[in-house]
């Protein structure tokens, strides 16, 4: 069913934050450190301030001295507080791009002119640019109070890992690495803040977690929450990066409050690549122990996660998720994952679609293929032999996230594997793979099986109103970044309330009209958001049945908070068939398929859209996207000329098979979230396919043309 | 810096302003003319979100200055739907094909495609060729598949 | 990423433009298509005090065949070159090369003269024009000179254009009969910057052997490169898989491409070999 959201976007009447113009509005420009690691000797603002049209130039000294650093909101750990970021750097800058000052002026052009005139006196310090270096005892320490560059560490384990490896008939071990890359939504970030006469600061351009961010902003301002209002407008993609609380999320409202004028800040692309959360830079020193029959005995991992210079608002979630879901759909009698979350002098890193899992799936599925190859076993058969059987559900995988045990709710993994092989004609692809195209290209086939998660952060709020005219309104604490939340929530409401889809309006993203909410991240909008709507709508329907329909002019409403202790676990298979030109290193994707069980697909078209979009990002990460730093800590991939997003030519057509064989018992809809499954195993599947094509061990992403040529034993 | 007076025909209406020469056409369209349907994604000509038509030809408005559009005719996404609100077949096809998610890239795609459809019989193209036509626009949400479908659907309808 | 301030002139006639260049050339940049220059301005990597916008010089927008020579006015849009059916027939190398320049939206504004004057080492048109032994007409208020590619392209994004000089025309001799051409390039993304590329023309003698080969390379050095050693070696040879590969190897041996994050020098050099080999085989099939 076509989406409710589309019309404004098609006609150009949508309202993104960059489209907002308020009377008297000023424009902010962030002054950013040009160096990766330095002491700030002085910041000269006089020349900038003297420019016509400049209203203010603020540094850390101009912020209230009690302004705390930006806190974590989840996945925290004692000690993490020593690695948090101040909205403006005070004595030390720790990454190139770190905010050191804000200029507010009459136009974006003037603000950019003035920002160049701010005089930064910096004493360079040695930048630490790799996790391995950061861990060396003699390496410079980024956060002196902490005395270490390890911001967080923990172990997730079950069973006796040493016994497992001692008993193994075969141990395969690799060091597997995923490169730094990022979500890069097409709309850069932006905010418009305005203080009204009643003393409330309204911030337009909120995203993802408006209620949480309102809480954080109020805390940083030292204000009661009632004086802070966050409003979502149209949002040009999030993918996990937009919506976390960044320095700008404090600075822009603070400027508006201090100057008593509306202030707009719209990020440009060069800034975005340096300043918005990076992600994915992770190393797995992974070892797999098997018995003589190809049964998995144990999985042992040392996971090194590059945090960038600070720990972001979502704490240790990225390596936490990785450690929790590294086991995947398989049975592991023993498991141990030792995590180190390490700071380096680079842009802080955070979540990006399937965070921690994209990396973990790459590592694990690669190693399983290596094991299959060593054992002379078919890689599909090796997996089949070790899948958690349907009779094992619900399955406690022996891991946990943020203190919560991971228990897979439902799943028939062997069935999905069988369906995927049939749908994507695995046997036919094997025959295709063994033919020689005759032009020197090599063919390869790769498969990856994974378990995803959805519905994190436990609750969501909804209120449903029915008016006498028959129109229904849903108020949801969820958030929209383009994924079709309004459509899905309207569907759920229509079904549960018994009204027509066309008669339902969905309101979200305004902390003033929705008292509370957790937002949209981790594929929770349909599951938690939808479940809350379902409960509220059902509750309202019951009232209507008992009390009668509302009279004209009357409105009946019901609200609900849906809570679930546990996440739900969709699961899937990616299949990739590739052709590799060993002279140039180009990897062409001949065929790509995703089979994904979502329990119940509330809107299959939207689910498919999410999967294909996820595959595009995952393929971009596998082949093209990389945030590269030079030896001084300068970001070289600083524009779309160098940071390569895939076009319609690089992204293959994707055959999507959505199954509903394992609805979840954990919410009234039976639905599991679909947002991340397309990205989750794309790195793994493409890597397995290329490794198969070249007959070599692929242990790193991206598979850039040069790396592929080198792997193929080429001339360079 | 010497200001310049410009007079630009935007979607059939004359818009006049006094501007700095360095004012980008994208900013002129969005802020001086108030037509915010044209979006800014990169300001270096790669992403395509800012694509408008200059005398009927798709161009990057972030790589033109407003002063260069003086006396010229510009068309943006707001001009596609009919005066009575009926959607252009391309807009309708995008809607029915779920060819947009966040919508940020959509206006750029539409302005390129409207020109392509005037000059090419899209129904004669293979998928690969359609993807090549789309390659001048980045989309981060859809993975392009449904955009290809929308192009096919619109092509069939507009040929009929 | 807003550009820094600049003064702006938009002359309507060539003599006006040349007068402006004579007076302001040292601190001005010429704005033609802007597809390369405006990004530099938006990134503030270029800060000219003045822009001289030559888009109003309609007299420089033409494509004319005269006596076996194609004359391309500097302001000819790349899209017009692409659509020119006479060029496709008579100098197909240019048609093939221009299709690799960015995307249609870029080619609707980008100009032939602008691509030449910007002299990006990875640009397609300078390499193709170099292979075609193009001549470039440079004019000032006081006169005109004609130079060859080797004289014009000096270094990366640096030409021999004097501050008061404007490129007004590019001249290409239409290749003779029994000539086949090919343009091959490798980029990481469709329409993206080339990591290596070859523009090749092969003319065969009566017996089907190579009478003359012209090989222009892009992204192989700071300027477009003619692989002269390989060209000489090919004279009299029958171009097949083996000789094409040998010529490719010789072309690669003669260059040291600059490396960057997308490819090291060694990798790019290997690509040169592949591009030249493939281009020669394609070109000879068309001769």
Both structure tokens of A649: 């030519």
Residue with the two structure tokens 């017996």: C207
**Is there a domain that residue A709 lies in?**
yes
Phi, psi (deg, nearest 5) at residue A594: -130, 125
- C163-212 confidence digits (pLDDT tens): 999 999 999 999 999 999 999 999 999 999 999 999 999 999 999 999 99
Q: If you average pLDDT over every residue of chain A, what do you get?
A: 95
Q: Which CATH architecture has domain B89-159?
A: Orthogonal Bundle (1.10)
C108–B54 C-beta distance less than 8 A = yes
Ramachandran bin of A411, using left for φ above 0, alpha for ψ from -120 to 50, beta for the remaining angles: left
From the list A84, A21, A86, the residue with the least C-alpha distance to A59 is A86
DSSP letter for each residue of A594-648? EEEE-SS-SSHHHHHHHHHHHHHHHHHHHHT----B-TTS-BS--STTTS----T
Using a 10 angstrom Cβ sphere, with 0-12 exposed, 13-18 middle and 19 or more buried, the burial of residue A320 is buried
**Is there a domain that residue A378 lies in?**
yes
DSSP letter for each residue of A45-67? -HHHHTSTTEEEEEEGGGS-TTP
Using a 10 angstrom Cβ sphere, with 0-12 exposed, 13-18 middle and 19 or more buried, the burial of residue A669 is buried
ipTM for the assembly: 0.98
**Same domain membership, residue A334 and residue A435:** no
B 86-115 residues inside an 8 A Cβ radius of A: 87, 91, 94-96, 98, 100-107, 110
CA B112 from chain centre, in angstroms, equals: 6
| CATH of the domain spanning B4-78 | 3.10.20.30
The CATH number covering residue A644 comes to 3.30.365.10
**Same domain membership, residue A424 and residue A470:** no
Distance of residue B76 Cα from the nearest chain C Cα, in angstroms:
14
Both structure tokens of A578: 């590739």
Asked whether A55 and A105 are in contact (CB, 8 A), the reply is yes
- B76-128 confidence digits (pLDDT tens): 999 999 999 999 999 999 999 999 999 999 999 999 999 999 999 999 999 99
More confident position, A555 or C34: C34
More confident position, A436 or A524: A436
Residue of B nearest to A612 (CA): B143
Distance of residue C30 Cα from the nearest chain B Cα, in angstroms:
14
From A259, A275, A291, the end of a domain falls on A275
Measured N-to-C along each axis, helices A682-694 and A604-623 cross at an angle, to the nearest 10 degrees, of: 50
- A334-386 confidence digits (pLDDT tens): 999 999 999 999 999 999 999 999 999 999 999 999 999 999 999 999 999 99
Of B76, B102, B137, the CB nearest to A235: B102
Both structure tokens of A129: 């640019």
Domain regions of chain B by residue span: 4-78, 89-159
| Confidence (pLDDT) at A511 | 79
Report strand pairing: A296-308 vs A334-343: parallel
C 244-273 residues inside an 8 A Cβ radius of A: 261-264, 266-267, 269-271, 273
Q: The domain containing residue A512 runs over which residues?
A: 459-563
Distance of residue A649 Cα from the nearest chain C Cα, in angstroms:
6
**Is there a domain that residue A399 lies in?**
no
What is the number of structural domains in chain A?
4
| Confidence (pLDDT) at A714 | 62
**Same domain membership, residue A162 and residue A24:** no
C186–A705 C-beta distance less than 8 A = yes
User: Is there a shared CATH topology between the B4-78 domain and the B89-159 domain?
Assistant: no
pLDDT exceeds cutoff 80 at C94? yes
Largest Cα separation within chain A, whole Å, is 80
Of A637, A641, A716, the CB nearest to C264: A716
**Same domain membership, residue A220 and residue A165:** no
pLDDT exceeds cutoff 50 at C226? yes
CA distance A423 to A659: 12
From A386, A415, A431, the end of a domain falls on A386
Report strand pairing: C28-31 vs B73-75: unpaired
CA distance C255 to C221: 7
| Confidence (pLDDT) at A516 | 73
**Same domain membership, residue A116 and residue A174:** no
Mapped onto helix, strand or coil, the DSSP state of residue B152 is helix
Ramachandran bin of B2, using left for φ above 0, alpha for ψ from -120 to 50, beta for the remaining angles: beta
**Same domain membership, residue A177 and residue A300:** yes
Q: In what order do the strands lie in the sheet with B13-19?
A: B13-19, B4-10, B73-75, B51-54, B57-60
What percent of chain A stands above pLDDT 70? 98
Run of H or E including A266: strand A263-266
Of A584, A586, A628, the CB nearest to C261: A628
Distance of residue B142 Cα from the nearest chain A Cα, in angstroms:
4
pTM for this structure?
0.96
Interface contact C43, partner A, CB < 8 A: yes
Q: Which residues of A touch C191 (CB under 8 A)?
A: 647
- A75-101 confidence digits (pLDDT tens): 999 999 999 999 999 999 999 999 999
pLDDT exceeds cutoff 70 at A456? no
CA A37 from chain centre, in angstroms, equals: 27
From A257, A275, A293, the end of a domain falls on A275
| Confidence (pLDDT) at A716 | 40
Asked whether A561 and A458 are in contact (CB, 8 A), the reply is no
Alpha-carbon torsion (C198, C204, C207, C208), positive or negative:
positive
Asked whether A697 and A370 are in contact (CB, 8 A), the reply is yes
Q: What is the DSSP-derived secondary structure letter of residue B151?
A: H
**Same domain membership, residue A372 and residue A318:** yes
**Is there a domain that residue A392 lies in?**
no
pLDDT exceeds cutoff 60 at A550? yes
Q: Which residues of A touch B49 (CB under 8 A)?
A: 186
Domains of chain C: 7-53 (3.30.43.10), 61-173 (3.30.465.10), 179-286 (3.30.390.50)
CA distance A312 to A481: 20
C4–A706 C-beta distance less than 8 A = no
**Is there a domain that residue A541 lies in?**
yes
**Same domain membership, residue A283 and residue A260:** no
**Is there a domain that residue A465 lies in?**
yes
- Torsion over CA of A525, A526, A529 and A531, rounded to 10 degrees? -160
Distance of residue C211 Cα from the nearest chain A Cα, in angstroms:
28
Interface contact C205, partner A, CB < 8 A: no
**Is there a domain that residue A504 lies in?**
yes
Interface contact A641, partner C, CB < 8 A: yes
What letters, b where the CB count within 10 A reaches 16 and e where it falls short, cover C234-249? beeeebeeebbbbbbb
Of B2, B27, B51, the CB nearest to C105: B51
Q: Which residues of C touch A709 (CB under 8 A)?
A: 267, 270
Residue of B nearest to A654 (CA): B145
**Same domain membership, residue A308 and residue A164:** yes
pLDDT exceeds cutoff 70 at A457? no
Averaged pLDDT, A318-341: 98
Chain B residues contacting C via beta carbons under 8 Å: 1-2, 4, 20-22, 24, 27, 43-45, 48, 51, 54, 57-60, 62-65, 67-68, 112, 132-133, 135-136
A644–C192 C-beta distance less than 8 A = yes
From the list C87, B98, C225, the residue with the least C-alpha distance to A488 is B98
Q: Which of the residue ranges A117-126, A519-528, A532-541 would you say has the lowest mean pLDDT?
A: A519-528
Residue with the two structure tokens 């009929």: B160
**Same domain membership, residue A502 and residue A623:** no
**Is there a domain that residue A394 lies in?**
no
**Same domain membership, residue A193 and residue A65:** yes
Q: Which of B26, B55, B60, B114 to mutate to test the interface with C (most CBs of C within 10 A)?
A: B60
Residue with the two structure tokens 């009377």: A23
Both structure tokens of C68: 């076996």
Q: Which residues of B touch A234 (CB under 8 A)?
A: 102-103
**Same domain membership, residue A680 and residue A655:** yes
Interface contact A188, partner C, CB < 8 A: no
């Amino acid at each position: 069913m076509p989406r409710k959201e589309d019309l404004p976007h098609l006609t150009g009447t949508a309202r993104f934050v960059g489209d907002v113009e308020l009377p008297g509005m000023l424009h902010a420009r962030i002054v950013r450190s040009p160096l990766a690691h330095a002491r700030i000797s002085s910041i000269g603002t006089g020349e900038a301030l003297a420019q016509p049209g400049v209203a203010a130039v603020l540094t850390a000294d101009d912020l209230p001295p009690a302004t705390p650093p930006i806190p974590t909101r989840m996945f925290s750990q004692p000690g993490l507080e020593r690695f948090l970021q101040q909205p403006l750097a005070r004595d030390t800058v720790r990454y190139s791009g770190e905010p050191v000052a804000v200029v507010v002026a009459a136009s974006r052009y003037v603000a950019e002119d003035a920002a160049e005139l701010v005089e930064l006196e910096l004493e360079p310090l040695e930048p630490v640019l790799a996790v391995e270096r950061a861990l060396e005892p003699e390496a410079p320490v980024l956060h002196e109070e902490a005395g270490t560059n390890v911001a967080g560490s923990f172990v997730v384990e079950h069973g006796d890992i040493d016994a497992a490896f001692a008993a193994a008939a075969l141990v395969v071990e690799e060091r597997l690495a995923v490169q730094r890359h990022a979500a890069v939504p097409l709309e850069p970030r932006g905010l418009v803040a305005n203080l009204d006469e009643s003393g409330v600061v309204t911030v337009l351009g909120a995203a993802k977690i408006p209620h949480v961010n309102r809480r954080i902003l109020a805390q940083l301002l030292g204000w009661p929450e009632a004086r802070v209002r966050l409003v979502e407008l149209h949002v040009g993609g999030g993918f996990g990066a937009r919506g976390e609380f960044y320095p700008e999320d404090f600075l822009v409202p603070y400027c508006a409050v201090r100057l008593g004028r509306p202030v707009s800040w719209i990020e440009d692309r060069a800034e975005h690549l340096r300043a918005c959360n990076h992600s994915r830079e992770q190393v797995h020193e992974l070892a797999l122990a098997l018995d003589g029959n190809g049964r998995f005995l144990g999985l042992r991992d040392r996971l090194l996660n590059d945090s960038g210079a600070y720990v972001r608002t979502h704490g240790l979630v990225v390596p936490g998720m990785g450690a929790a879901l590294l086991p995947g759909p398989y049975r592991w009698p023993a498991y141990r994952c030792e995590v180190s979350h390490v700071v380096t002098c680079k842009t802080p890193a955070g979540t990006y679609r399937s965070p921690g899992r994209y990396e973990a799936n790459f590592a694990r599925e690669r190693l399983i293929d290596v094991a299959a190859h060593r054992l002379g076993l078919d890689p599909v058969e090796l997996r089949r032999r070790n899948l958690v059987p349907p009779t094992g559900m619900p399955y406690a995988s022996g891991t946990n996230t943020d203190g919560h045990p991971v228990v897979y709710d439902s799943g028939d993994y062997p069935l999905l594997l069988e369906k995927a092989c049939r749908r994507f004609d695995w046997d036919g692809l094997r025959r295709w793979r063994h033919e020689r195209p005759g032009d020197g290209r090599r063919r390869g086939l790769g498969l990856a099986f994974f378990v995803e998660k959805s519905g994190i952060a436990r609750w969501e709020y909804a209120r449903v109103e029915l008016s006498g005219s028959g129109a229904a309104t849903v108020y949801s604490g969820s958030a929209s970044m383009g994924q079709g939340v309004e459509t899905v929530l309207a569907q759920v409401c229509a079904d549960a309330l018994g009204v027509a889809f066309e008669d339902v309006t969905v309101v979200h993203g305004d902390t003033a009209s929705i008292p509370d909410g957790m937002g949209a991240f981790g594929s929770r909008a349909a599951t938690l958001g939808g479940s809350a709507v379902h409960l509220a709508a059902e509750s309202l329907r019951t009232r209507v049945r008992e009390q009668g329909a509302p009279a004209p002019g009357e409105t009946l409403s019901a609200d609900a908070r849906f809570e679930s202790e546990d996440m739900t676990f969709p699961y899937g298979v990616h299949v990739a068939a590739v052709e590799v030109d060993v002279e140039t290193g180009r990897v062409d994707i001949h065929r790509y398929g995703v089979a994904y069980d979502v329990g119940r697909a509330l809107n299959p078209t939207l689910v498919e859209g999410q999967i294909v979009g996820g595959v595009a990002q995952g393929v971009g990460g596998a082949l093209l996207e990389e945030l590269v730093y030079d030896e001084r800590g300068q970001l070289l991939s600083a524009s779309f000329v160098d940071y390569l997003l895939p076009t319609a030519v690089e992204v293959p057509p994707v055959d999507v098979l959505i199954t509903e064989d394992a609805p979840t018992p954990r919410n009234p809809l039976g639905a599991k979230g679909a947002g991340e499954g397309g990205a989750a195993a794309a790195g793994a599947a493409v890597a397995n396919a290329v490794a198969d094509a070249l007959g070599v061990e692929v242990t790193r992403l991206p598979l850039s043309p040069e790396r592929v040529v080198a792997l193929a034993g080429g001339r360079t | 810096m010497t200001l310049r007076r410009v007079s630009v025909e935007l979607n059939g209406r004359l818009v006049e302003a006094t501007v700095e020469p360095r004012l980008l056409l994208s900013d002129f369209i969005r802020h001086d003319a108030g037509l915010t349907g044209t979006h800014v994604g990169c300001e270096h000509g790669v992403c395509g979100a800012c694509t408008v038509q200059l005398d009927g030809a798709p161009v990057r408005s972030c790589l033109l200055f407003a002063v260069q559009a003086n006396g010229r005719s510009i068309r943006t996404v707001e001009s596609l739907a009919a005066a009575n609100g009926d959607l252009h077949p391309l807009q309708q096809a995008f809607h029915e094909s779920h060819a947009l998610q966040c919508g940020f890239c959509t206006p750029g795609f539409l302005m390129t495609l409207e020109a392509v459809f005037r000059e090419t019989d899209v129904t004669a193209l293979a998928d690969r060729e359609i993807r090549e036509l789309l390659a001048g626009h980045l989309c981060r949400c859809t993975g392009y598949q449904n955009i290809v479908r929308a192009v096919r659907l619109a092509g069939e309808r507009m040929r009929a | 990423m807003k550009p820094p301030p600049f003064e702006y002139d938009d002359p309507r006639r060539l003599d006006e433009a040349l007068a402006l260049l004579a007076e302001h050339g040292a601190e001005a940049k010429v704005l033609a298509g802007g597809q390369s220059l405006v990004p530099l301005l938006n990134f503030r990597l270029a800060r000219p005090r003045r822009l001289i916008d030559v888009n109003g010089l309609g007299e420089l927008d033409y494509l004319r065949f005269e006596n076996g020579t194609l004359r391309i006015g500097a302001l000819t849009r790349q899209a017009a070159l692409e659509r020119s059916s006479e060029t496709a027939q008579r100098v197909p190398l240019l048609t093939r090369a221009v299709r690799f320049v960015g995307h249609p939206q870029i080619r609707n504004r980008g100009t032939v003269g602008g691509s030449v004057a910007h002299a990006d080492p990875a640009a397609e048109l300078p390499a193709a024009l170099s292979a075609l032994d193009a001549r470039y007409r440079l004019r000032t208020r006081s006169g005109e000179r004609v130079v060859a590619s080797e004289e014009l392209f000096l270094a990366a994004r640096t030409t021999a254009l004097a501050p008061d000089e404007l490129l007004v025309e590019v001249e290409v001799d239409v290749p003779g009969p029994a000539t086949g051409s090919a343009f091959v390039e490798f980029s990481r993304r469709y329409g993206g910057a080339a990591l290596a590329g070859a523009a090749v023309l092969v003319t065969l003698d009566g017996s089907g052997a190579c009478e003359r080969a012209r090989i222009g390379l892009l992204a192989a050095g700071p300027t477009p490169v003619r692989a002269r050693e390989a060209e000489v070696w090919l004279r009299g040879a029958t171009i097949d898989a083996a000789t094409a590969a040998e010529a490719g190897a010789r072309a690669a041996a003669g260059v040291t491409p600059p490396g960057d994050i997308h490819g090291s020098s060694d990798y790019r050099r290997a690509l040169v070999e592949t591009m030249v080999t493939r281009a020669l085989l394609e070109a000879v099939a068309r001769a």
